[in-house]
Amino acid sequence: MTLKPTQELALSTDIHVITAEINAYKRIAGEAIFEIGRRLKLVRSAQSTSDDAGERTLAQQREQAGGWIRWLTEHVDFDRTHAHRFITVFSEMGDVGMYQQMGLRALYEITTLPSEERERPHTVPSTGAIKTVDEMTVRELREVKAALKAERERADRAETAVTVAEDEAALLRETLESVREQPPHIEYQTQTGTRPGPGAKRPPEALRGALSMICSRGAANDG
């Protein structure tokens, strides 16, 4: 028999009772998300080769039901994405804690934040309001996540630019040191029939002799 809550259950007309009931149901809803995720994870991860007899039995039953995906869709009416969110929330948070009044979508957005970002207040870009994650709506959580991602990307680009600049500076220093360590290189050019000026540097004796011989041979050939 299907119950009709609005007809079968009489509601209190005392606002204090109603407030307590709403908060109780909110706690139940939050706890349900974690308990569902806990059980989904157990079914998905069960191994037929486990040393635990109960886990082996569960794995066999899952396969007899058609496997993980078929069991999800035919027996609990979840698709893979929906089940993944329940499992992620349970795995990342462990228990309902301070998030007991939040829905699955908000909880999933929180779990995809870095753990250190879940504990501190954030400024919501669209409103400028400063809130903790448990105070935000799904839309606000997504805004904050996008802002944090953009901030990380800017920091990564800046870090990359600093690294490139440091590498280039190191290469330049190495090049300058290598040049300073090399002996000076002087090139001498001699043309037939010309004499170096009085201020010109004279080449070493051995080199002068070689140049003189070459010039003499050139003159002889010309004659």
Q: Which of 52, 79, 112 is the last residue of a domain?
A: 112
- Give the pLDDT of residue 3: 47
Task: Flag whether 7 is in a domain.
Answer: no
- Give the pLDDT of residue 205: 54
Q: What's the mean per-residue pLDDT of the chain?
A: 78
CA distances from 78 to 83, 136, 155 (A): 6, 26, 39
Q: pLDDT for 70-84, tens place per residue?
A: 998 988 888 999 999
Specify whether the CB–CB gap between 133 and 113 falls below 8 A.
yes
- Give the pLDDT of residue 153: 85
Tokens of 49: 């080769």
Q: Which of 63, 82, 112 is the last residue of a domain?
A: 112
Specify whether the CB–CB gap between 44 and 90 falls below 8 A.
no
Q: pLDDT for 159-187, tens place per residue?
A: 888 888 888 888 878 777 777 777 666 66
Task: Flag whether 27 is in a domain.
Answer: yes
Q: pLDDT for 95-133, tens place per residue?
A: 666 676 788 888 888 888 888 888 889 989 888 899 988
Same structural domain, 19 and 94: yes
Q: Which residues pair with 123 in a beta bridge?
A: 130
Same structural domain, 57 and 101: yes
**Residues of the domain holding 18:** 13-112
Tokens of 89: 């929330």
What's the whole-model pTM score?
0.58
Same structural domain, 32 and 106: yes
